[in-house]
Amino acid sequence: MDRYVADVSGLSRSYVQKLISEGQVTIAGVPIKSNEQVVPGEVIELEVPDPRPLELEPEPIPLSIVYEDEDMLIVDKPAGLVVHPAPGHPNGTLVNALLARDTEYGGIAGVQRPGIVHRLDRDTSGVLMVAKNDLAQASLMAQLKARSVKKTYLGLAQGAVAATVGRIEAPIGRDSHHRTRMAVVPGGRDAVTGYHVRERLPGWTFLELDLITGRTHQIRVHLAAIGHPLAGDPLYGTGTSRRGPDGSSRLFLHSWRIELHSPGDDHLIQATAPLPPELEAVLVGLRARHVGEPGPVGPGGLTGQVGSVDDFEPVGGRDVG
């Protein structure tokens, strides 16, 4: 029952389970249990309570808005900005900045996450959706669950990625040895990342990446798992990859483009955020190096039961160039 209600409503399964435990999901007025089976013909009633009053303070943090209508906006988040308050980051977040701009946002994702439907890592820059009301938030969450939102990133990977177009399929879960990290693990959640080589540079490969699923640290974990960690990654990189090329000052990962349907009238929205100057400068520096300089080559893929790499299958059946 909890899985069915989550799929239909677009809410997260954990939030639906919470609503079920609070008696907010009923059949003929009788509260149901999460493990009940769905029976054809039943009418399931879901009541989403109004969000509790926010205890967050608005903060005048500058924001770059790349798209806005009456239901949603798309922000170009800078690197270093945390998306929502959490232990260790009670303020100075994107949410605090949003509240300084407008006090009304969708609240069904939780008190600390008004309007937030997905996240970017603190050190990742680029486009991120924000809902202005509950209906918009439910629509965007449903689109994410159905994988109909197309999210494309730009990243700089260490070494020479062999294939021009590829697809990484490997399950991701919590690293049993390092609880702050994710890893490719047997029994993890399915995860799929498509990639397309944009430019080959000395010692590095500039990639366009399609995030087909949306697991925590997915791109970083997948690229590290095939031997091509992202430049400037302090968590999954080692040695040269952790330092990045000359002039590198941050993780080279940018949420470049997003495509979705408007929660209001279903028209197609396409929004992009240009590569930040500090990342563009890294590419300029690499292009200035001797073209013939060889770079390190990582292993070509994964083996065993934890995943596979098909270097010749088009990503998602569409041209990602």
The dihedral built from the CA positions of residue 6, 210, 174 and 109, taken in this order, carries a sign that is negative
Residue 58 to residue 83: CA distance in whole angstroms: 14
Q: What positions carry a catalytic annotation?
A: 121
Write the DSSP symbol of residue 316.
G
Tracing tokens 């399609």 back to the chain, one arrives at: 210
Q: How far is CA 286 from CA 145, 155, 203, in A?
A: 38, 14, 9
Start-to-end C-alpha separation, the chain: 41
Q: How far is CA 178 from CA 35, 183, 217, 219, 238, in A?
A: 32, 9, 14, 18, 15
| 3-state class (DSSP) for residue 17 | helix
Specify whether the CB–CB gap between 117 and 130 falls below 8 A: yes
Segments in the chain forming alpha helices (H):
2-9, 13-21, 94-101, 134-145, 218-225, 240-243, 277-287
**How many whole angstroms from its chain centre is CA 131?**
16
Residue 201 to residue 290: CA distance in whole angstroms: 9
Both tokens of residue 308? Answer: 């596979």
